[in-house]
Copies of this chain bind each other. A is one copy, B any other.
Amino acid sequence: MSFPIYYEDTDFSGFVYHANYLKFFERAREHVIGIDFLAQMFKERLHFVVSKAEISFLKPAVHGDKIWIETTAKIAKSPVVEFYQNAVHESSEMLVKSVITIVLINDQRKPQKMPPAFIEHFERQAELINKGYHL
């Protein structure tokens, strides 16, 4: 998943505002999981929420840079999924590294075991990711 840095992404230091990487990573996760799949889950009142984020900001990006989000996922122990997500400059320089842990919850905000249909769907997607197919 690749995109340019827009005005909206920067702050007055000239660099990408740090919190925006969490947005970029989340956009990439939505593509990996599948936006239609998430919309369907929402109808069943299930949500993924971020439970933990560890982010290392190595180099800043500026307006006009093109960056790439690399995503690798691992079903750690249902209902927990770990995403290893990096923001990479088009020059291949690593900008930001992260481990984002997400959990499936229901609308009473309780962790929810992942339904088999989800695990199957997810493994299909994960396989694509591991094969380096860009979702």
Contacts and interface: CB of A to CB of B under 8 A. Distances in A.
Interface in A65-114: 109
A135 to B, nearest CB: 12
A22 B53 CA distance: 11
Interface residues of A, number: 40
Given A7-B26, A26-B6, A12 B62 contact: yes
A104 to B, nearest CB: 12
B4 A35 contact: yes
A39 B30 CA distance: 28
A52 B51 contact: no
A8 B27 contact: yes
Nearest to A9: B11
Contact of A19 (B26, B39, B52, B57): B26
A87 to B, nearest CB: 14
A53 B52 contact: no
A20 B11 CA distance: 12
Contacts of A122: none
A56 B52 contact: yes
